[in-house]
């Protein structure tokens, strides 16, 4: 029975929250950047895609070079948090230059590959028992980090003189400072785990397992359907809210809707012991898909119902994420778990690029009521592929 210092999980959770706040930092201040630099409305999709592509590239590079095995993971986390914070902060020095802005967002995404997955690796090295519940908390921290820049912008409006927002530069620098603090917290308070095992070299056999193993294929393709919807929803949330709200109210509501996913992850993790990961994932996937299908009706609903709809969507759109990771890790051959997870994550985030570009581009000419139901295509495919795991039978945790 291993003894884990009580501070370990809270520090990792804080650091994940702080580091992943870099993810949507530019999205939160996009109205300010559009006003100051004359960026088109479609820029939010392109900049988000740059982060996603950077994350895919970083995930593959870190995995192929086995960076978190060659060096202590807390040190890797620190280096990436500091460099990611610097790349995010450098945005304030630009004067509307588009290509440098894209390059910086790509760099942030690349370095996030040394924050989010490495933070998970650190947690897994300390917590073998009860990892499913810990994963729910950790991914919940990522969700809260994703929402944080919107919250900072809303607080800026509240604190600004005469109702004016804080400068967008202040929001970006605040996010960078928090990310750097998260890196320092992990490096200073979380030692390299004595239980850490050497990782496995990435092998193309992982791709074959994803396709040929029935149970692995079920969880991975369920995850792909989930990813079609998740990040595109996060990008579209401010656009949806702007049909009813304006100014700081959009940022405040976006924060609470995205942050609601924390509850979905944590509660989902608690329900796993009773219902199993597959059933929890399937239920949340079905609910989030239903929210997309209901879009044309609820976009015009009374304000309380409109907000309740978006909050439910925010809770369920990500609450299944920890369970897909758990299912894939459980069903993959032990010697190929690292390869399968790496390829699954890389393909999943590549899918988000396609989805984001398609939906944000289409939103420039089509009404949201015509677009939102198509987000349910991912959950529908995910539920279909997940059938071998969630059909009635003994629960699998």
- pLDDT at res. 337: 83
Which ranges of 190-276 does DSSP label H, i.e. alpha helix? Answer: 205-212, 214-241, 248-259, 261-275
Give the domain-ending residue among 199, 218, 239.
Answer: 199
Question: Tell me, what's the pLDDT at 241?
Answer: 97
Q: Which two three-digit tokens encode residue 309?
A: 């709809």
Q: Which domain holds residue 191?
A: 7-199
Q: Does 178 lie in the same domain as 239?
A: no
Residues 167 and 236 in one domain: no
HSE-up (13 A, CA, CB side) for residue 48: 30
124-172: pLDDT as tens digits: 777 766 555 667 778 888 899 999 999 988 886 665 545 566 788 999 9
Exposure string of 117-146, with b = 16+ CB inside 10 Å and e = fewer, is bbbbbbbbbbbeeebbbbbbbbbbbbbbbb
Return the CATH number at 366.
Answer: 1.20.1250.20
Q: What is the mean pLDDT of the chain?
A: 89
pLDDT in tens, 311-353: 999 999 999 988 898 888 888 888 888 888 889 999 999 999 9
Q: Which residues contact 334 (CB under 8 A, 6 or more apart)?
A: none
Residues 6+ apart with CB under 8 A from 287: 312, 316
| Structure token pair of residue 380 | 């529908």
Give the tens place of pLDDT for each residue, 195-222. Answer: 667 667 788 888 899 999 999 999 999 9
The DSSP line for 124-149 is: HHH-STTHHHHHHHHHHHHHHHHHHH
Of 146, 181, 199, the residue at which a domain comes to its end is 199
Contact 259, 147 (CB under 8 A): yes
Same domain, yes or no: 86 and 189: yes
Distance separating alpha carbons of residues 293 and 148, to the nearest angstrom = 27
Do residue 158 and residue 272 come from a single domain?
Answer: no
Task: Provide the 8-state DSSP code for 395.
Answer: -
Q: Are residues 72 and 24 in the same domain?
A: yes
For the chain, the domain total comes to: 2
CB atoms within 10 A of CB 21: 28
Contact between residue 109 and residue 55 where contact means Cβ atoms under 8 Å apart: yes
**d(Cα 81, Cα 119) in Å, to the nearest integer?**
11
**Hey, what are 319's tokens?**
């609450």
Contact 267, 312 (CB under 8 A): no
Q: Are residues 274 and 253 part of one domain?
A: yes
Same domain, 174 and 275: no
Domain boundary pick from 199, 230, 252:
199
The residues near 231 (Cβ < 8 Å, ≥ 6 apart) are 48, 52, 352, 355, 356
Q: Tell me: the pLDDT tens digits for 273-285?
A: 888 889 999 999 9
Query: Cα–Cα distance between 116 and 392 in angstroms, integer?
Result: 33
Q: Is 1 part of a structural domain of the chain?
A: no
């Amino acid at each position: 029975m291993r003894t884990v210092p009580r501070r370990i999980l809270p520090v990792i959770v804080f650091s994940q929250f702080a580091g992943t706040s870099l993810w949507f930092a530019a999205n939160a201040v996009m109205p300010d950047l559009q006003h100051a630099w004359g960026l088109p409305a479609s820029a939010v999709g392109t900049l988000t895609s740059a982060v996603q592509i950077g994350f895919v590239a970083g995930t593959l590079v870190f995995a192929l070079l086995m960076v978190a095995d060659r060096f202590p993971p807390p040190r890797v986390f620190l280096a990436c948090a500091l460099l990611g914070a610097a790349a995010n902060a450098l945005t304030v020095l630009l004067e509307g230059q588009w290509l440098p802005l894209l390059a910086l967002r790509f760099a942030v995404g690349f370095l996030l590959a040394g924050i989010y997955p490495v933070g998970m690796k650190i947690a897994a090295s300390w917590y073998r028992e009860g990892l499913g519940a810990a994963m729910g908390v950790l991914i919940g921290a990522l969700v809260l980090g994703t929402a944080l820049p919107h919250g900072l912008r809303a607080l800026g409006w509240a604190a600004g003189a005469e109702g004016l927002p804080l400068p967008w530069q202040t929001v970006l620098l605040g996010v960078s400072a928090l990310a750097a603090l998260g890196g320092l917290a992990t490096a200073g308070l979380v030692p390299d785990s004595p239980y850490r095992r050497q990782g496995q070299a990435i092998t193309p056999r992982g791709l074959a397992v994803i396709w040929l193993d029935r149970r692995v294929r079920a969880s991975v393709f369920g995850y792909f359907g989930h990813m079609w919807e998740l990040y595109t929803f996060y990008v579209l949330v401010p656009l949806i809210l702007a049909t009813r709200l304006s100014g700081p109210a959009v940022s405040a509501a976006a924060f609470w809707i995205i942050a609601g996913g924390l509850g979905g992850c944590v509660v989902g993790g608690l329900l796993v012991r009773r219902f199993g990961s597959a059933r929890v994932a399937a239920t949340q996937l079905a609910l989030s898909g239903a929210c997309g299908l209901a879009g044309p009706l609820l976009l015009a609903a009374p304000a309380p119902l409109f907000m309740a709809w978006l909050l439910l969507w925010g809770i369920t759109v990500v609450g299944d994420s920890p369970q897909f990771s758990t299912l894939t890790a459980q069903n993959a051959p032990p010697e190929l778990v690292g390869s399968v997870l790496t390829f699954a994550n890389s393909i999943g985030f590549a899918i988000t690029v396609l989805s984001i570009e398609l939906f944000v581009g289409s939103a420039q000419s089509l009404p949201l009521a015509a677009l939102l139901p198509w987000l349910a295509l991912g959950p529908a495919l995910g539920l279909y592929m997940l059938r071998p795991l969630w059909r009635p039978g003994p629960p699998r945790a």
